[in-house]
Amino acid sequence: MNKTLIDRHLKFLDTLTGNKPTVFVYKGFSVNFFKELNKQLPHIDNLSFIDSKNHIDLEKISSNFVATLVKLGQVKEKKTFLAYEEFLLIPAHSLNQFPVYFTIIQNNFYEFYPNQTKQIFPDIEDSINSDIPIEDNELFNRFYSDSREIVGFNCIQYLDYENDFKSLGVDLLNFFDPNIISLPEFKDDFTTANNLIQFKAADNSYYKLKFELFQNAIPKSVSLLVDENIDHIPQDFEELKILYSILSTSDCEITLYRQRKKYEDYWRPELDSMLKKHWNENAQFKKLKIYKNPDTSKDLIEHSQGSVVEHIIQQVELAKQGLLFEDIFLTAPTGAGKSLLFQLPAIYLAENEKLKSVTIVVSPLKALMSDQVTALKVDRKFQNVAFLNSDLSLIERQEILEKTIRGEISVLYMSPELLLSYDIKTFIGERELGLLIIDEAHLVSTWGRDFRIDYWFLGNYIRKLRRGSSIKGFAKNQLKTYRFPVVALTATAVYNGTDDMVFETIGSLNMQNCRIYIGRIKREEISFVYNRFNTSAHELDKNNKTKERIKEFVESGKKSIFYFPWISQIEQIAPALDPSIKPFVRKYHAELSAEERNESLLQFKTGNAKSVLATKAFGMGVDISDIEIVYHHAPSGSLADYVQEIGRLARIPGMKGNAMMDFNPKDLKYTRILFGLSSLKQFQVDLVLKKLNNLYQIKRNRNMLVSIEDFQYIFTKDNNAEQKVKSALLVIEKDLLAKFGYNVLIVRPKSLFSTVYGSVSIQEFEILKQTYGDFINEIQRTTYQRAATKIGRGAVVIREENANKKFVKILLDKIWEKHYPDESFPATKFKFFNKTLLPNVEPLLKLQIHFNDPINITRGKFENGIKLLERALYAFVGRYFTKDDLMKKLKEQVSNETTCRKLADLLTVFYADIDQFGKTGTHQLTSGNFLQVERKGNDSQYRVINTAFAQVKSQMMRLFQVSFDGISDTEKEYTGFIPANTKSAREKIKLAYLLEIFELSTYEISGGELPQLFVRINDPQKINSMSRRKYSNNVVTDVERRHKVSVEIMTYFFQNGMTDQERWDYIEDYFLGNEVETIDVPDETIIKEHDTVELIEDLLKVPLLIGSKGIVVHIYPKAKAYEVEFRKKDGSITVETVEPHQISKSI
């Protein structure tokens, strides 16, 4: 930091006034800065924390801690300062005891700061990615949260307690204020600039400059090139201003250039030859219409596919020459030939001797990558291509990898999760990575209907490849960097605005200096045909209309896709079709086998079938150009999803297509319900954070392997717990990064790690040992491990574990590699848990419980906890109550608000009967549950079923006794093995969770069927602090907001009569981020939709006639009688009461 900036800063400090001395705490500054500052602003102990070699001495700071406290109590100067490391050791609760104000001054130019201590800390992210064990360093943990190796600099991030300090009156100020920094005018022509540095470029030259400035190494001149889209990224724009301020006050001549993207419609002649060779001899590049400047206008320019291919190849050439290059983001409607745009550059790189390098194509679907590879080999006559996915056997996978490393394969398709699981050298060896293609890039968007969790992790992987990784075979601290452009493609993505997906994706993928092609959104060859109808029997009439349309289109010979929100609707309609048209109709959805889906696709493509009944599964990668009609039984996603689906129409030049629907306003309920089923809830994310903190309290290590099963209880009614757990951890990581500016938490998938457990007879163990050797080992059991078998209603019989059985630990991934390489790892794992791999081994889960007190004390406390629940619940006998009511009642018994909240969550989530659509349950409660649920507006209301609770209470006490009987009264540790995927396992895990909520113990589970995740907690104190209060995740809140806006947009689009031109104008405005008209749909209405008459009608298949004030209807689901009262309120009809009655007459 130069003297000019320090003098300016000190003048600013003079403007701060107070009636007590002020201690300024400097965070993220160099030793040279401290020495210069100390000349005018004295350090409290004359820079005693700096050693003779200009290092910050952490050990001395620690040993001087008491002396520092004494000096703080005796401050006489009006202003003095501390280093942030010194300040971190002061207990927060004692800050108010000193006769001074504290103000933190943060160096806001840096995210990571060069490490100035005499220690060298490991690159934590690199260690995570390469499976290198990270040893906990007590000295590091005392001051820092994260460390990285960045362009040769060992860098750190601090523990960040600013928010905690703020509550104690500590001010936080930034050293730089970007708002008062003005930039000079940008120049456009940088062709003659010397030593040009690209702002935040992938070639690392910018970061080298940035870290050299930290050490006060000022160049004489700098020419800096910035992206033309920098105005869209406020954080980058502020950083540019700070950089300019540092250089312009340091006698450095700085020139700023803005790179204006020029669209040149040129390509090298050999590309025409390659097109004809690999596509067909008459092939020509199509013309693409793209927006000239989507920020300011809708003007279009024509751009050939050939010029886009040329531009991609040029970026590879620039990267290999060490020159500035661009990443590319492209949207183009279905049928515009997106595959050609990346396949032809990939073929060029494979066949060009100078550029010969590997192209990796990240693709989301196994079927999609298989189809594209087959098409390249068969249709394009290009054999230098293969795909890798989890379905391949180890032998097949190894053969492909060896061919790639030898150079026989140069285009490699793979899933994101597979790429993330290994170092890049696993796939390409010593070869160069030429291109990284991200196909279907809209899957990165965290709020999209089809969001894929592993797509989000790609950004970190890309950044690490470009900044450099420690690679085996390289000298210590030598970094292997890769220079390659990233090309991201998708059919539809919203550009800018409140629902932006383009810049979110670019940021998430860590794309740099990105050229953006936004393809024309309007497709005038597609017309909209909406026939509005109203009916009292919505579902019945809706089905009939769809069946009529299928018959109409089949008989007229029109090729048509029928999209349905739910598979059950397809399975209901398909059998009811007119027998004369059934041979010409096919189904396509996720529950069909791959063979059935492929057969449907083939029959539809060849024209043998005229109509296909499909869910959204019929989408990505489907290449059929002569579809005349896309009919929606009802929309099931956002406007972006809808446009992508109708985009499959009329892909032959000159052809016309119709987007059709018989629309009823009630149709939009499916979008709401599907969002409710798939979305993460705030309470679930809150519970995941709390469980994460509990696991840390057990392991006491910042680096943890955690099982999906550790969190699975939070998503008990969800069939895709793995995706939900990963998503919850991701949104927590993302939210905390946004809130605190650094990675409080790092989550990375570890797909193939798999240690499992089982029980086996002694005789069989000896046989297995001979076959599998050290991959199967006996676990020495303690005397108290037992098994329990339920018989009858709630009775439990205790039996000793058979003495002829052994508990074993199995390294399943090693067994797969050596003994079953001809099949995929997921298949091997599936066989183990289904007892077809090792038929005589009973799969088990390992449950470890760590009690806070000896078991005899815990038993008494647990009984008291159950009685506490009983008193709270019985206070509501005979009436409904909300979760808040329950929390208030629990607080009368328990003073700890966090415990009350957890108990309320536990009871209302795990002991309440709500079926998969969130509708009111019946008195036939699922065994083990005792709460009946009813929705009231925005809230759920609950009622205790007395007899059910008494039974559950008895079962819980019996289960505790059975589980821990035999443990010594002074014992505080339990390790048990429970049968996997059984009801008894779920009940025991529920018991473990209840004990954890009562703060009697903590628990962890391992050895399950689902994969493990690596979690690095950089700041355990922050996680602990946040888990002790109600946690609200801003990412989840934003997704909920976007969904609400999406529903309002869809409501306007379908309920308003518009011409085709007006509809395409509306769609264009939406996709270009412009404000569009909506119809306000209050939050309450969206939530109450689950309880509306229409949904009851759909459930019962009976129309309900509603009078002016309401109606009382008697219904009999499953032979149980109910009186359901419907009331009209504010224009909507909602369920007011659901009461049981003995009535002899039904409707």
Pick the last residue of a domain from 971, 987, 1002. Answer: 971
| Total count of domains within the chain | 8
The answer to whether 225 touches 198, Cβ cutoff 8 Å, is: yes
pLDDT tens-digit readout, 332-386? 877 678 899 999 999 999 999 888 899 999 998 877 888 889 889 999 999 999 9
Pick the last residue of a domain from 943, 971, 999. Answer: 971
* Matching residue, tokens 């002694």: 762
Strand 221-227 relative to strand 196-198, pairing: parallel
Q: What is the CATH number for 347?
A: 3.40.50.300
> For residue 216, how many other CB atoms are within 10 A of its CB?
15
Q: How high is the pLDDT of residue 177?
A: 93
Q: What are phi and psi of 576, to 5 degrees?
A: -90, 5
Residue 998 lies inside a defined structural domain of this protein:
no
Q: How high is the pLDDT of residue 918?
A: 30
* SS3 per residue for 801-845: CCCCEEEEEEEHHHHHHHHCCCCCHHHHHHHHHCCCCCCCCEEEE
- Which value, to the nearest 10 degrees, does the dihedral of the CA atoms of residues 970, 976, 978, 980 take? 140
285 and 431 fall within a common domain: yes
Residue 981 lies inside a defined structural domain of this protein:
no
Residue 685 lies inside a defined structural domain of this protein:
yes
Residue type, 478: Q
Residue of 227, 326, 313, 217 whose CA lies nearest to 270? 313
642 and 685 fall within a common domain: no
Residue 184 lies inside a defined structural domain of this protein:
no
601 and 746 fall within a common domain: no
The answer to whether 508 touches 448, Cβ cutoff 8 Å, is: no
Residue 508 CA to residue 441 CA, distance in Å, equals: 10
455 and 378 fall within a common domain: yes
Cα atoms in the Cβ-side hemisphere of radius 13 Å centred on 585: 23
Q: How high is the pLDDT of residue 704?
A: 84
Residue 978 lies inside a defined structural domain of this protein:
no
The answer to whether 445 touches 182, Cβ cutoff 8 Å, is: no
Q: How high is the pLDDT of residue 719?
A: 62
Give mean pLDDT in consecutive 10-residue pieces for the chain, a chain of 1147 residues.
90 86 95 96 95 95 93 90 95 88 95 94 79 77 92 91 79 93 90 85 83 92 88 87 94 89 84 94 92 92 94 94 89 82 96 92 85 90 91 82 93 90 87 95 70 83 76 44 93 86 90 91 93 80 92 95 92 94 93 87 92 86 86 88 90 92 84 71 90 89 84 72 86 90 84 79 91 89 42 31 77 85 77 89 90 90 89 86 88 80 80 46 55 68 81 86 83 86 79 87 82 86 89 89 87 91 95 89 42 40 37 37 40 38 28
545 and 592 fall within a common domain: yes
24 and 104 fall within a common domain: yes
Q: How high is the pLDDT of residue 1005?
A: 85
Q: How high is the pLDDT of residue 858?
A: 92
584 and 639 fall within a common domain: yes
Domain of residue 780: give its range: 757-845
Pick the last residue of a domain from 826, 845, 864. Answer: 845
- Please report how the helices 538-556 and 1093-1100 are oriented relative to each other, as an axis angle in degrees rounded to 10: 70
Residue 1063 lies inside a defined structural domain of this protein:
no
Cα Rg, the chain, nearest whole Å: 32
Q: How high is the pLDDT of residue 781?
A: 61
Q: Looking at the DSSP assignment, which residues form a beta bridge with residue 1017?
A: 745
Residue 721 CA to residue 453 CA, distance in Å, equals: 13
Q: How high is the pLDDT of residue 914?
A: 46
Q: How high is the pLDDT of residue 335?
A: 67
631 and 686 fall within a common domain: no
Tokens (6 digits) for 119:
């220690």
Strand 611-614 relative to strand 560-563, pairing: parallel
> For residue 172, how many other CB atoms are within 10 A of its CB?
15
Residue 993 lies inside a defined structural domain of this protein:
no
pLDDT tens-digit readout, 895-951? 777 788 778 877 887 787 643 333 333 344 456 678 887 765 546 788 888 777 888
The answer to whether 488 touches 511, Cβ cutoff 8 Å, is: yes
Question: Could you give the angle at the alpha carbon of 164 between the alpha carbons of 161 and 167, nearest 5°?
Answer: 145
Residue 945 is given by DSSP the state -
779 and 905 fall within a common domain: no
The answer to whether 179 touches 108, Cβ cutoff 8 Å, is: no
694 and 799 fall within a common domain: no
384 and 514 fall within a common domain: yes
> For residue 383, how many other CB atoms are within 10 A of its CB?
11
Residue 741 is given by DSSP the state S
649 and 732 fall within a common domain: no
Residue 495 CA to residue 434 CA, distance in Å, equals: 28
Residue 999 lies inside a defined structural domain of this protein:
no
Q: How high is the pLDDT of residue 1138?
A: 37
Cα atoms in the Cβ-side hemisphere of radius 13 Å centred on 652: 8
